[in-house]
Structure 1
């Protein structure tokens, strides 16, 4: 077993006493959980972990709503997907998987939407109607951001799967679109809409050389958008120059990550 996990199991052993004390104080507690950033989990009362025959155990406590809501604050999030011609084949497949994994980490306290860009930028769903569970339903897109509910996630997944690559990428256009969407959302949202907490742009690309300096100058001077953090992901087996992606993240207090394979998605996508 991984030494990091073994060490975690050792230092977290004291949690068992807390579980027992909690149960003694409230006997209605059916289950208690503890999940760690390294991926292991403690359950009280103990139970035999069941894995269906011939299947791989892909359960990850870090993707469960109780872990997400307990470890991070609610977020208003706009995801930007580079769908230019250079993002094709395996790179685009990895990107779609990564974006869907990211959306899966969100809970109903989060608000999200996904836009795809090349020389222009548009929402992936674009308020179109989709078939979900044999009923006609559409993304609740009267606002730029929608609640990360199960239904809305499913609609976004379907729209992401239909994306095709082509054209040239423009970071300036994409970031302007995202910042303007945040401003529109703030000006039109009703009470209870939006997380009203952290605001983030998650940009997935295979890299580029365009530095959108004027965009950051403009929106960093705006009281509402100056707190938006940009997280960037260089995607694909052979990403092209990524210095600009790093600079975007560093200049806004975000984080830069590299995703080269589908197997690395789960460890890189954490919010």
Structure 2
């Protein structure tokens, strides 16, 4: 049974992630009977250990980041904790079963920029692994605020969402988007424990919005889900619906494209005059 040697930082990240997930579950979530009142929230370690087929001591060490694990055992723990697909992939990466090799963050395929420019009516951003804005198309610049008017060191989508009032006016319902983007970010950050870019961004987020510290301390992860958002015109304030989608590019670039697709109003058929009472049935030639 092969065991991958994860770094101490990855092991600690895996342990914290499993513990946070365990604390969110109740016995009923995993098919166990609800017993008397519990002193601590969530499942007990011994319950997860029994469901996973490992000893309580070993599972405790796993949460403490003291042991490496095999893919087979980590899969069993994932099943016991009812991890969804995104969380399961994240746990495997933290366990050392996915490459964490770093790639340059600023370089990107020029064809991606050409793709953005090919969407004249759909505002789009090209984002780096830490959600830095690498490129944008004219449609996004027209939507506002134009990234060209923002200092390069502040061109980060998540940072702009939480601290830039102009961005918040354009996207009034920005909070759930920012939360989901941060979960998306954590999915990648935990796989790159030595990457200073992620750490610097989290420090900047804490500094910019200390009132949202519960967000920055949260360990939940997940893939960004497509949704419909209301975009307010910066000219007259009227709102228009857009579909928001985050497209992930193939690794090793680890970039993403955020695209806003305008919703077209459904076309209603033009009314037609009712047929004359003395008109022949359809398909019957007139005499």
Q: TM-score, normalised by structure 1?
A: 0.25
**Structure (1 or 2) with the larger CA radius of gyration:** 2
**More helix per residue: 1 or 2?**
2
Q: TM-score, normalised by structure 2?
A: 0.24
**More strand per residue: 1 or 2?**
1
